[in-house]
Structure 1
Amino acid sequence: MVSFEEATELAKKFSKKPTDAEFLEFYGLFKQATVGDVNIEKPGVLDLKNKAKYEAWNSQKGLSKDAAKDAYVKVYEKYAPQYA
């Protein structure tokens, strides 16, 4: 199993771009693992991209940083065969 740090670096080097939903899965877990619970204002209704990112991060609320790192690695391992 790769470490969280390795998974984040390897995910940046995917040869193909993950779908938006898959990207948001990575994003929410990454933010939870590195920052913790969401700590920013919710973007406005018309700011669709940032609102989606906010919601992906907020959906991980309460997850410990270590649990988020483990979950990120599992998500990486799930998608790596498809995109690496």
Structure 2
Amino acid sequence: MTDINAQFVQAQEDAKQLPERPGNLTLLRLYALYKQAIDGDVHGDKPGFTDIVGKYKYDAWAALKGTAPDAAKQQYVELIEALKSGTAA
């Protein structure tokens, strides 16, 4: 396992231990980075207007199209570290 993969796995565990729940926009960012890191570019049909949460998740993930999985993992790790230290919004 490469170093970034180990850091990514650790960040996923750390996310469960955060001192306070992040805001919705931060949660969307974490979701999108995670999906990009694991599944690559967005795929599947965009949810309809009745699925508001699904639509926002899809759009957040689609915004990362073309981001390399390792880059998404690195950004995820950095965001979790910022949340742990209280320096992220």
The verdict on a shared fold, with TM-score over 0.5 as the criterion, is yes
CA distance in 1, matches of 2:74, 2:7: 8
Unaligned runs of 5+ in 1: none
CA deviation map 1:24-49 (0-9, x unaligned): 01000000000000112100012111
TM value normalised by structure 2:
0.84
Partner amino acid for 1:11? A
CA deviation map 1:45-69 (0-9, x unaligned): 1211111111111111100111110
**Deviation beyond 2 Å, 4+ runs, structure 1:** none
Deviation at 1:13, TM superposition (A): 2.2
TM value normalised by structure 1:
0.89
For the aligned residue pairs, the C-alpha RMSD in angstroms reads 1.6
2:20 to 12, 16, 23: 16
Unaligned runs of 5+ in 2: none
